[in-house]
């Protein structure tokens, strides 16, 4: 009789411990199931595009095309010398030697002789004894011929006098602003941007020179994209109006996924999420230049896109938002994604410190967590990826890690903003619970008998 009572008490205790273990020790897959879309049922738009296939954009496309002739414009400074006129000297007096002008190291100009004559607003120049006239759009040779012609027409320059000496003393410059997010680490940075105000001389007023004078091409913590705000083309009286229109555009318009437009036929019930309109107001004043592209998809970069004018803003944004997050048995954390190569789910799990078939699961589960795995229990192989599209809609993707180790189709790429949650499958939790129960209660009952 006592033996039966003892067996009943042991069975009741075992059942009570089983219930407590299931409810309190992490058997979440049994009591709190999560649903998702299997990888093999996903459309290509949700799988991501490999970044490792991209190649750098030739840097020559970031610079202005070379021009044979330099055309004068407002802001240029000419060096002019006219014997007997500039400077003035009496007919019987000895000629005054012209000054020699040595250019700065950064001007890339040759030494010149003569007196500075600025090209004023609307391309006008003013010379002694002549009315102002326009030289905008002329070459140096054409400007010299025009000066000589006007002096001879006014009979100021005698026929026997040599031609005027006209050269370029200083090129006109364009003042642009460069904003760069040069944080040292993608995680934990304060988001402070470094600003540069650059005076780029004519012919060097392009994106390439703006980048090189502000720190070089984008580094690891910066995106492979340069954004140019063409504020020089925005009328001053319509500035606030146009900015309001830009901010009022639908959030779904212009959405791209890893450099490729999403097909609006994939999710017909959520068209705004992935619709694309290339006639947006943004495209008129905001130029986005990718620095990497897929073979066969060379971006169309026009010379006017990379040419900068006074008032334009060049911005290289930070990558601090290109993170993936972990939860569940992986523990809470956030990790930066590589910029120029791919990271799949197996690599992401290894990066988070868990690894496949490891015994250091952080969240417990199955009544024993890492202790049970050390006794021969199963490892968690159920991974849920919460993927958020640019429009805000999320999808749960189910990845079987055991299958992913043998099938690359299952081993999908991790995208910015993904949340990876590692869990046990129900059968894995039950197996671990059975092993834990045996080692906790079974051995004790064996010795008691």
What's the Cα-to-Cα distance from 332 to each of 187, 324, 362, 404, 439, rounded to whole Å?
15, 11, 10, 23, 30
Q: Which class for 178: exposed (0-12), middle (13-18), buried (19 or more C-beta within 10 A)?
A: buried
List pLDDT tens digits, range 228-284. Answer: 999 888 777 777 777 776 666 544 444 444 444 333 333 333 443 433 344 445 567
Backbone phi, psi, residue 233, to 5°: -100, -5
Share of the chain above pLDDT 90, in %: 36
| Percentage, residues of the chain above pLDDT 70 | 71
Looking at the predicted structure, is the pLDDT value of residue 192 above 80?
no
What's the pTM value of the predicted model, to 2 decimals?
0.71
**Which residue did the predictor score with more confidence, 212 or 89?**
212
Query: Across residues 159-172, what is the average pLDDT?
Result: 84
pLDDT digits (tens, 9 = 90+) for 395-407: 899 999 989 999 8
Class of domain 77-170: alpha beta
Pair of tokens at residue 11: 């069975």
Of 98-112, 142-156, 354-368, where does mean pLDDT reach its minimum? 354-368
- Spatial CB neighbours of 388, under 8 Å, sequence gap ≥ 6: 394, 417, 418
Q: What are the structure tokens assigned to 130, written together?
A: 């002549």
298 phi, psi to nearest 5 deg:
-55, 125
Q: What is the pLDDT of residues 101-123, one digit of tens each?
A: 988 877 788 899 999 999 999 99
Domain-wise residue ranges, the chain: 18-50+342-448, 77-170, 173-316
Whole-angstrom distance, CA of residue 66 vs CA of residue 72: 16
pLDDT at 376 over 80: no
pLDDT of 41 > 60? The answer is yes
Mean pLDDT in the chain? 78
Looking at residue 167, its pLDDT comes to 93
């Amino acid at each position: 009789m006592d033996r039966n009572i003892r067996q009943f008490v042991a069975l009741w205790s075992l059942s009570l411990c089983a219930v407590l273990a299931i409810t309190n020790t992490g058997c979440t897959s049994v009591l709190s199931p999560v649903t998702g879309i299997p990888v093999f049922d996903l459309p290509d738009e949700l799988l991501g595009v490999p970044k490792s296939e991209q190649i750098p954009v030739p840097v020559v496309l970031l610079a202005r095309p070379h021009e044979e002739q330099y055309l004068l414009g407002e802001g240029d400074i000419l060096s002019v010398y006219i014997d007997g006129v500039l400077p003035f000297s009496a007919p019987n007096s000895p000629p005054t030697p012209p000054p020699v002008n040595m250019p700065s190291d950064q001007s890339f100009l040759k030494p010149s002789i003569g007196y500075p004559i600025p090209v004023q607003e609307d391309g006008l120049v003013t010379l002694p004894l002549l009315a102002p006239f326009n030289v905008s759009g002329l070459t140096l040779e054409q400007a010299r011929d025009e000066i000589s012609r006007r002096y001879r027409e006014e009979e100021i320059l005698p026929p026997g006098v040599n031609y005027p000496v006209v050269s370029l003393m200083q090129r006109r410059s364009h003042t642009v602003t460069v904003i760069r997010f040069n944080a040292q680490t993608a995680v934990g940075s304060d988001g402070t941007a470094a600003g540069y105000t650059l005076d780029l001389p004519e012919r060097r007023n392009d994106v390439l020179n703006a980048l090189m004078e502000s720190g070089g091409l984008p580094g690891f913590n910066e995106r492979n994209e340069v954004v140019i705000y063409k504020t020089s083309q925005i009328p001053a009286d319509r500035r606030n109006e146009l900015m309001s229109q830009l901010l009022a555009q639908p959030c779904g318009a212009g959405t791209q996924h890893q450099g490729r437009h999403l097909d609006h036929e994939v999710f017909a019930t959520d068209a705004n999420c992935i619709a694309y309109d290339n006639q947006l107001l943004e495209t008129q004043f905001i130029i986005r230049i990718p620095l990497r592209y897929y073979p066969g998809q060379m971006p169309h970069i026009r010379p006017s896109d990379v040419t900068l004018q006074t008032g334009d803003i060049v911005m290289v944004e930070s990558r601090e938002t290109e993170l993936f997050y972990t939860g569940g048995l992986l523990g809470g954390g956030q990790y930066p994604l590589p910029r120029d190569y791919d990271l799949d789910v197996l690599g992401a799990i290894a990066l988070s410190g868990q690894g496949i078939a490891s015994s250091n699961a952080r969240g417990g589960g199955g009544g024993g967590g890492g202790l049970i795995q050390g006794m021969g229990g199963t490892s968690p192989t159920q991974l849920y990826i919460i993927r958020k599209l640019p429009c805000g809609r999320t999808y749960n993707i189910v990845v079987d890690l055991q299958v992913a180790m043998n099938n690359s189709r299952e081993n999908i790429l991790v995208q910015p903003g993904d949340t990876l949650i590692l869990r046990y499958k129900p059968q894995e939790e039950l197996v671990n619970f059975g092993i834990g129960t045996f080692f906790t209660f079974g051995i004790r009952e064996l010795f008691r008998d």
